[in-house]
Amino acid sequence: MNPFNYFTRRAVMLFGILAWTLVIAGSGEAKQPNVLFICVDDLNHWVGYTGRNPQCKTPNIDRLSAMGVSFTNAHCAAPACGPSRASLWSGIRPHSSGCYVNGDPWKRHIAEGLNLNAHFKKNGYYTAAMGKTYHSSAGGLATVYASEWDEYPPVHSENSAGRSPSKYEGFHQPLGLDLQDKDLADWHTVDFCIDRMKQKRDKPFFIACGLIKPHLPWAVPRKYYDMYPRDEVQLPPHREDDLADLPKAGVKMAGPEKDHAKFLKSGRWKDAVQSYLATIAYVDMNVGRLLDAYQDSPERDNTIIVFWGDHGWHLGEKQHWRKFALWEEATRTPFIWVAPGVTQPGTLCDRPVDFMSVYPTLCELAGLESPNHLEGKSIVGLLENPASKWDGVALTTHGYLNHAIRDQRYRYIRYADGSEELYDHQNDPYEYTNLAGNIEFAAVKKRLAAHVPSQNEPPTKPAAAKKANAEKKKAKRQ
């Protein structure tokens, strides 16, 4: 790379950020950028720009992708709603906080005042949210630290169908409801966010839109199912012997005797794929409503959009369903940035990043000092030039001492018992062949293993176990 060209580009980029974040109005006051933060629950990497599943139709997410930089190798910090969101919002990785699984209440691990929204509020931002941003589908101030938000109403839960969908409707069970778009909470969450974007105020805004779909139940209006006739639905690429070269810990994580065995017995595998595609289509419609409001807004040229899915989702790959695993399907998600003055429309970045980058990147773009507790690194350089040099990797943790490292080409997994998996994505994008035992890849494995955390916070014991242990100790003392 020509050093002159590099430093020229950096100077132009820094000037652009300065001109953008410090727009001098007639009064001489600085104007900071707004943030529209779009969180989507259980959305895997089937969206259009990744090319992972061509049958998936996401015109509005594709429209968003065309507006900025889309990451094709982006990964969650944890493949479960609770720890993924706790780490992204706080900037603290699961192995440091001890928040590993959904059973770990995030407030026990993340102190009040450390979160991204809290930092922006302290620095003069109006902060508002609705929907699922942290690990609660109900949303509302009772589910978060109330001091960190100006507004956070609970989600709208009424519908005209006469009953709520069952937990597995559209999944193990067929769709049994006739729903309208407005019958689902996400419609009203988007309404709220659009309204708050339109309001005039003397502060920049940080608005988080927490879309609950495509989380189960996969109950959406039938018109979205009609987009995917069942006889045209294709199963995701898979192999029947895909678990043959996995260590015991990997087979246990796959759990082929669970959901996958049920789908093979019921013959509903295609139905479930159809349901997931339909539910993504409903999400995409709501993303379109947000983008319409954004593009009509007088604040459009001074508003950052960050779009992310909290983790991926398996639909039978490796005989596994849902998240809760360390393979590509469970960790890779959509990740799109639109930063006026910084990002170029319609660009892709294939550098490996994880969501610990969100907090420091937004701080840099907004001209805020990053808190000392952050464990990720800013990707502003990649937003400005997606092809720029990058030595980072994506780290995903699922449970205590189970980690995956993803670089530009390889995925390395190490389980708590020391067993390993290694996949070459250049030649094996669906991770069919475990290369961990192949001596030819020893150097690759060693290089990636160096990124596995050496210090891991012990998991918090469940409250019942704590109480039992305390009573046992008391009995011994007596």
R_g of the chain computed on alpha carbons = 22
Report in angstroms the alpha-carbon separations of 71 from 116, 247, 304, 452.
21, 31, 16, 23
468: three-class secondary structure by DSSP: helix
Place of tokens 């794929």: 273
78: three-class secondary structure by DSSP: coil
Query: Is 81 annotated in the active site?
Result: yes
Per DSSP (E only), the strands in 247-345 are 303-309, 314-315, 321-322, 335-338
Tokens of residue 313, six digits: 């989702």
Query: Is 193 annotated in the active site?
Result: no
Please name which of 118, 37, 51, 106 lies closest in space to residue 308, comparing C-alpha atoms.
37
Q: Which amino acid makes up residue 138?
A: A
Please name which of 323, 261, 312 lies closest in space to residue 102, comparing C-alpha atoms.
323
Place of tokens 């006469």: 162
Q: Is 431 left (phi over 0), alpha (psi -120 to 50) or beta?
A: left
Per-residue exposure over 198-217, b if at least 16 CB sit within 10 Å of its own CB, e if not: eeeeeebbbbbbbbbbbbbb
Tokens of residue 202, six digits: 């003397």
Q: Is the dihedral of CA 125, 131, 135, 141 positive or negative?
A: positive
242: three-class secondary structure by DSSP: coil
107: three-class secondary structure by DSSP: helix
Alpha carbons 210 and 36: distance in angstroms, whole number: 11
Residues 6+ apart with CB under 8 A from 48: 56, 57, 58, 59, 61, 62, 65
HEC profile of 262-289: HHHHHCCHHHHHHHHHHHHHHHHHHHHH
Alpha carbons 116 and 44: distance in angstroms, whole number: 24
Question: To 10 degrees, the CA torsion angle through 364, 365, 369, 375?
Answer: -40
Q: Which of 39, 76, 81, 349 is catalytic?
A: 81
Q: Which of 135, 215, 311, 314 is catalytic?
A: 135
User: With contact defined as beta carbons under 8 Å apart, do 431 and 413 qualify?
Assistant: no
**Angle (nearest 5°) at CA 351 between 289 and 436:** 120
Q: Which residues are the active-site residues?
A: 81, 135
